[in-house]
Amino acid sequence: MSRVGVHFICDMFGLHKQGKFLDEVDELGLMQILIDGGLKPLQHNGNQFVPEGYSYFVFLQESHFSIHTYPDKDIATFDLYACDADSEKIRKIGHTIRKRFDPSYFTGKMIDRGVKST
């Protein structure tokens, strides 16, 4: 059985140390990265948490993108899921987002979705 989608999940650490961490993410910048990567945003919404932290979600024609910031823990996480997409295209978008935030440490994992484990 072939996969139904690709899910790229990432954690970024060390954003405070470099003075680049903001509670509110650059929504327009992230939207442009998705568009430049060949994805088609449909709707988006963000939420500022009190006292800090931010979540941003984009519904894509292909599926979704989300980012969540945790300033108190010096972490931002994001995931990008796309149905029937080229893995390399999704990986490139993820690495472009990584460059934009420039974390001191980054972990990322690509998961093929809809494939039975053996």
In a domain? residue 118: no
Element (H, E) at 57: strand 54-60
Residue 35 — very low, low, confident or very high, per pLDDT cuts 50/70/90? very high
Residue with the two structure tokens 């992230």: 30
Indicate which residues carry an active-site annotation.
63, 68, 83
Instruction: Retrieve residue 31's tokens.
Output: 């939207």
Is 19 a residue whose pLDDT tops 80?
Answer: no
In a domain, 29, yes or no: yes
- 94 pLDDT more than 80: yes
Contact 72, 52 (CB under 8 A): yes
Q: What is the pLDDT of residues 65-93, one digit of tens each?
A: 999 988 888 899 999 999 977 888 998 99
Question: Is the distance from CB of 41 to CB of 58 less than 8 angstroms?
Answer: yes
Residue 36: inside a domain? yes
Q: Could you list the residue range(s) of the whole structural domain that residue 77 is in?
A: 5-113
pLDDT for the residue 24: 56
If one counts the domains in the chain, the total is 1
Which CATH number fits the domain that encloses residue 48? 3.60.90.10
pLDDT tens-digit map of 50-67? 888 889 999 999 999 999
Over residues 22-32, the mean pLDDT reads 76
